Every structure is written in C-alpha cells, then in structure tokens.
A and B are shown apart, each in its own frame.
Chain A
Amino acid sequence: MKRQSFYSRNAKTIFPWLLILPTLAFLGTFCFFPTIRGFGYSLTNYDRSNPKIMDFVGMANFREIFTNDPVFVKSLLTSLKWVSVEVILQLVLGMIFALILNQSFKGRGFVRTFCFAPWAVSGVLTTMLWILIFNEHVGLLNNVLKAAGLAHYTKAWVQNIKTVFTSVVIAELWRGIPFFTITLLGGLQTVSLELYESAKVDGGNAWKNFWWITVPCMKESIIFSTLMRTIWEFRSVDLIMTMTDGGPVRRTLTLPIYMYKTAIESGKYGYGAALTVILFLILTVYVVIYLKANNFGKGVNE
C-alpha cells in the first residue's frame, strides 16, 4: 500500500494550484471579468457614439425593456420558438438515428463517420452550404422544383417571410442532429443487453422495450444533451446571423441577435448589457428548474 501514498503525500502541496493557475488567469480575464463588467454596464446609459457620457441610470434600461420595447418581446418569442422547435426535432430525430446506428450492419463504421461529419462543419460553413441550396437562382431546391415542373413554387427561400424560419430551422437541424446522435449513441452503449433478454422472456415488444428499458437507462445522456443543446440553441447566433441577419422583417431576430445588434452594431452598450442580463437570468432560471425537475447533478460532485 506504499504506492497509494504518492498522491496523498502531496495533498498539501501547491503543485496542483500551479497547474491550474494559467487557466484561472485566462478565464478570469476573458470570461468572468467581462461578465461582471457587462452586468455593471447594464445600469448605465453608456453609448459608444457618445462615449463621454456614462451616467448611472439604475433600473431605467430594464424598465424600458419591459414596458416600452416591442422588439424585445418579439425577439424573445422568436427565441422560444427557435429553441423549442430545434431541441425537440433534434432530440427525436437524433434518437431515431442513434437507434439505427446502434444496430450492426455492413459498413456501419463508414456510415457513422459520414453521419457525424456535419458536426465538424459548424456555423458559417453550414450557412454557406445551405445558401447554395436555398438560393433563388443557383439553389438546388429551386432547380429541382423547376425540373419537376413545379416552377411556380420556386422562391427566394431565405428572403421570403413565409419560408425563412423553416429554412433556417432545417439548416440548423443539419448540423444539430449529429450532436444528439453522437451523445445518445454513447448512452445506448451503456444499456445492458441482458435487460432486453429478460424483457423478451416477459413478452415485451419493440416499442415497450424502447419506452421501459432504453429511455430510463439513457436518462442521464438525454438530460445532459438536451440541457447543453437548449443553452447552445438559445445563445446561438452564427448561423442565423450569417444566413438572414435577423431578417427579413425581423422574422428570425432572436434575443441574442437583437442584443448583438443593439450593443455592438448600434453601440448602445448600456441597453445591450441590460438585454444580456435578462438573457442570462432566463437561462439560469431555466437551468436550475430543469436540473431540479430531473433530479440531475448527483453525479457532478462524483
């Protein structure tokens, strides 16, 4: 038992602190400091176009947002719609494909690699690939419609207010489903096959097996991936920003994009920071409720 003493002997040294110190410095400077600072700005009327004025205005920004800002309400609703559509579709479809890919068939390795590939292609590249599909003139979609004799259905999919939301949702699904499939596939591998064997004896069918064995066993994976994904989709900007820039007519203006436009593009930092605080609070409340409701996190402290 002499061997085990190596790390416990070192329990009092500062060595592990030396190891994590650079990371703490980085995160402190570039993550936590800006966050706290941003929260501070939310109480001021700081404006980049007029940087000499920076007055403490208390809750004025928040009052303005909640009582007198229709764009805020609209962008919040768009955000909620965006997140719920994306997460639900990604979970359901990701689950189906994870189940399929968990079966053994010829060429599974290759198919898996191929299916996960979009995950490596994030943001802007996804946008570009889908622009080439949805484009009015060179886009594949319109070309196919024309070739099929449905020329009157062709439109500029991303510029049309009726189709823009669906178009963006599909593009986001393209890169989102693989993430779910990867995580759920890993979860599926932890389900013990014996459970299915005994279920067979009891005469369960495939649906019952899925519902009573697979889902409960994968609960942790499902909860984790939906949580991460919700946060991610809620804050995601790159795809929408590059594809539609919130337009047309604010049809795809989600809360983070509204915030970005206010704070960075129009330079109204104070107001933008207040929007940021609201975004942050919404996410925090969501995370806490979600984790409480699912009784999750027992494993976090090991």
Chain B
Amino acid sequence: MPLLCFLFFIGVPLFWALSLSFRNGQSVISGEFKLFPSPATLENYIYVWTRNKLNTFFINSMITSFGSVLFIGMMALFNGYALSRFQFKGKQAFMVILLMTQMIPLIFNMSSIFMMMVKMKLTNSLFGICLLHIAAGLPYNSLMMKSFIGSIPREIDEAAAIDGCNRAQIIFKVILPTVRPGFTTVIAYAFITCWNEYLLSYTLLTDAKKFPISVGLKYLVGEYSTNYAALAAGCIIALIPPILLFAYVQRHLVSGMNAGAIKG
C-alpha cells in the first residue's frame, strides 16, 4: 500500500506531462480536464522541436555532454587507476582534495568563475562550458572509478605486466575491459549530470543559439504566454536521454554509489 502511494507520487508528474504533450494546444488552453488525450496529436512535438529551436538546444546539450564526458571518463579512469594501484607520496592529499571539492559547492565559486571566464573570453562558448563541466564532474566520478577498479584483483594486471604489457597497455587493454560495467556507469552518471546542468550554462551563456536544453526549456516558460502543451512535449524530449541511460546502468549504479557511501 505505501508502495502504491510512492509509485503514484513518482509517476504522476511524468504521466501528466506525457498526457499534456499529446493534447492539442486549444484544449489545454480552454482548461478542459482530460487524463487521456483524445484525439492524440504529435503537433506539440513538431512545434517545439522546430519553432522553439529545441533541435538546436538538443544538439548543444549533446555536444557539451559528450565532449565533457569523454574527458571525464578518461581522467577518472587514470585517477582511479593511480589511486587504487599505487602507493605514492601525496596520494592522501589528493584524496582529500577530491573530497574537499565536494564540500565547496559550485555556487560559492560562481562569481569568481564568471569573472575568470569573462577574462578568458570563454563566456558564450560551448568549449568554456565543457571545461567547467569537466572540473565539476571529475572528483565524484574519480572516487567512483577508484572503488570500481579497486574491486578488480591486482593479479590480473600484474600478470599482464609480467607478460610484457607496458603501462598504457595495462590501462587500456587490461583494466578498461575488465572494469567495463563500472566505466559505463561512470560515463552514464557523468552524462546525466552534464545533461541536467543548469546554473553554469544559465550564468555564462547569453546567446540563445548556444543554450543547452535545460536553459532552453526554462525560456519556453513565459516567453510569450507559455504554451504548456509544447512545454510538456519539450520536457519529454529532454527526459529521453537521461532516462534511457539511467535504465541501462541502473543496476551497477546502486552498487557504485554505495561503494562511495561505505568508504566515505
């Protein structure tokens, strides 16, 4: 019974957005109450995708998310490997640095970052946004990667070293394939975070051609008396990538997040 309430609570907003997105604009404005749209129409999707430039926003989000995730994945792999396999001076300090970034919230740095980006002429640039996404995503994903690699027995890469693999080969040919599920999880997690990121893009981008989907959606509200059916359709479009990715890695994610939890 409580479970049903919970499912209801989780499902209602999703369901309502879905239902609104298929109704035609007229019936939404006139305030008719319908749970199931009839006749169902795709016009909102077409409208929001072409007229409201959601296609541009979608592509911008894709570019920044993929660009950042590529680097986050690489560097998290390196960090995770270094932290779980080597004992070196400064390792402890590095761990503390990673944890500390979690304590200094992004919003604290927002004003300095803004000024810095103005000086570097990186406002209104997707490249600048990528740089910041990478910096924001690295610490947590590195810690997650460390615990994933830590759960692989050392004997595997030690054996590879004896067989004459060099260091790059160990990382890419031995560690990476073995840690694939964990790596996919980190990639997906990083992607979802970048995709949903709002504050940085909202502060640094003023050119509407550069907006990611999160900021673009916000501008659908109240631009010229909000078209709620179109907004709902926009939401559904924006939801698709994170939900798909999430469903794909969800199983590993539970163990990955907890690896972080148990080790503090």
A residues whose Cβ falls under 8 Å from a Cβ of B: 3-4, 6-8, 10-11, 15-17, 19-20, 22-24, 26-27, 29-31, 33-35, 37-38, 41, 93, 96-97, 100, 111-125, 127-133, 135, 137-138, 140, 143-144, 146-147, 174, 178, 182-183, 185-187, 190, 220-221, 224-225, 228, 231, 234-235, 237-238, 241-242, 256, 259-260, 263-264, 269, 272-273, 276, 279-280, 283-284, 287, 296-297, 299-302
A-B contact pairs, 6 of them (CB 8 A): A27-B98, A123-B214, A183-B257, A220-B262, A238-B199, A269-B111
**Known interface pairs A6-B158, A259-B107, A287-B103; 19 further A-B residue pairs with C-beta atoms within 8 A, sorted by A's residue number:** A16-B82, A17-B90, A20-B94, A26-B135, A27-B97, A30-B132, A30-B136, A113-B246, A116-B246, A124-B218, A125-B196, A128-B217, A133-B13, A178-B10, A186-B255, A231-B102, A231-B105, A235-B107, A237-B199
Cβ-neighbour of B135 out of A11, A29, A241 (below 8 A): A29
Question: A186 to B261, alpha carbons, bound, how many Å?
Answer: 9
Minimum CB–CB distance from B61 to chain A (whole Å) comes to 12
Flag if B231 contacts A128 (CB, 8 Å).
yes
Interface size class of B (residues with CB under 8 A): 35 or more
Flag if B235 contacts A113 (CB, 8 Å).
no
Q: What chain B residues lie within 8 Å of A269 (beta carbons)?
A: 111, 115
Q: What chain A residues lie within 8 Å of B239 (beta carbons)?
A: 121, 125
Q: What chain A residues lie within 8 Å of B115 (beta carbons)?
A: 269
The CB with the most chain A CB atoms within 10 A, among B12, B109, B136, B218, is that of B109
Name which residue of chain B comes closest to A112, CB basis: B250
Flag if A125 contacts B217 (CB, 8 Å).
yes
Question: A7 to B104, alpha carbons, bound, how many Å?
Answer: 33
Flag if B235 contacts A128 (CB, 8 Å).
yes
Cβ-neighbour of B111 out of A15, A272, A301 (below 8 A): A272
Flag if B261 contacts A187 (CB, 8 Å).
yes
Known contacts A20-B94, A111-B7, A124-B198; A116 and B107 CB within 8 A of each other: no
Majority secondary structure of chain B interface residues (helix, strand, loop or mixed): helix
Flag if A16 contacts B111 (CB, 8 Å).
no
Question: A225 to B260, alpha carbons, bound, how many Å?
Answer: 10
Kindly state whether residue B159 has any CB partner on chain A within 8 Å: yes
Flag if A129 contacts B14 (CB, 8 Å).
yes
Flag if A242 contacts B10 (CB, 8 Å).
no
Minimum CB–CB distance from B101 to chain A (whole Å) comes to 5
Known contacts A132-B20, A242-B198, A300-B263; A19 and B78 CB within 8 A of each other: yes
Flag if B221 contacts A131 (CB, 8 Å).
yes
Name which residue of chain B comes closest to A227, CB basis: B264
Minimum CB–CB distance from A156 to chain B (whole Å) comes to 13
Flag if B262 contacts A299 (CB, 8 Å).
yes
Known contacts A129-B14, A186-B258; A138 and B113 CB within 8 A of each other: no
B residues whose Cβ falls under 8 Å from a Cβ of A: 2-3, 6-7, 9-14, 16-17, 20, 28-29, 31, 33, 75, 78-79, 81-83, 85-88, 90-92, 94-95, 97-99, 101-116, 131-132, 134-136, 138-139, 142, 154-155, 157-159, 161-162, 167, 192-193, 196-199, 203, 214-215, 217-218, 221, 228, 231-232, 234-235, 238-239, 242-243, 245-247, 250, 253-255, 257-258, 260-264
Q: What chain A residues lie within 8 Å of B167 (beta carbons)?
A: 15
Minimum CB–CB distance from B15 to chain A (whole Å) comes to 9
Q: What chain A residues lie within 8 Å of B138 (beta carbons)?
A: 23, 26-27
Known contacts A27-B138, A119-B246, A263-B111; A280 and B104 CB within 8 A of each other: yes
Flag if B87 contacts A129 (CB, 8 Å).
no
Known contacts A19-B82, A96-B2, A182-B254; A135 and B228 CB within 8 A of each other: yes
Q: What chain B residues lie within 8 Å of A96 (beta carbons)?
A: 2
Flag if B258 contacts A221 (CB, 8 Å).
yes
Flag if B86 contacts A16 (CB, 8 Å).
yes
Known contacts A115-B6, A140-B12; A264 and B257 CB within 8 A of each other: no
Known contacts A7-B86, A138-B228, A231-B102; A35 and B246 CB within 8 A of each other: no
Q: What chain B residues lie within 8 Å of A174 (beta carbons)?
A: 9-10, 13
Question: A142 to B71, alpha carbons, bound, how many Å?
Answer: 46
Q: What chain A residues lie within 8 Å of B192 (beta carbons)?
A: 120, 122
Minimum CB–CB distance from B251 to chain A (whole Å) comes to 8
Flag if A121 contacts B7 (CB, 8 Å).
no
Flag if B235 contacts A114 (CB, 8 Å).
no
Name which residue of chain B comes closest to A135, CB basis: B228
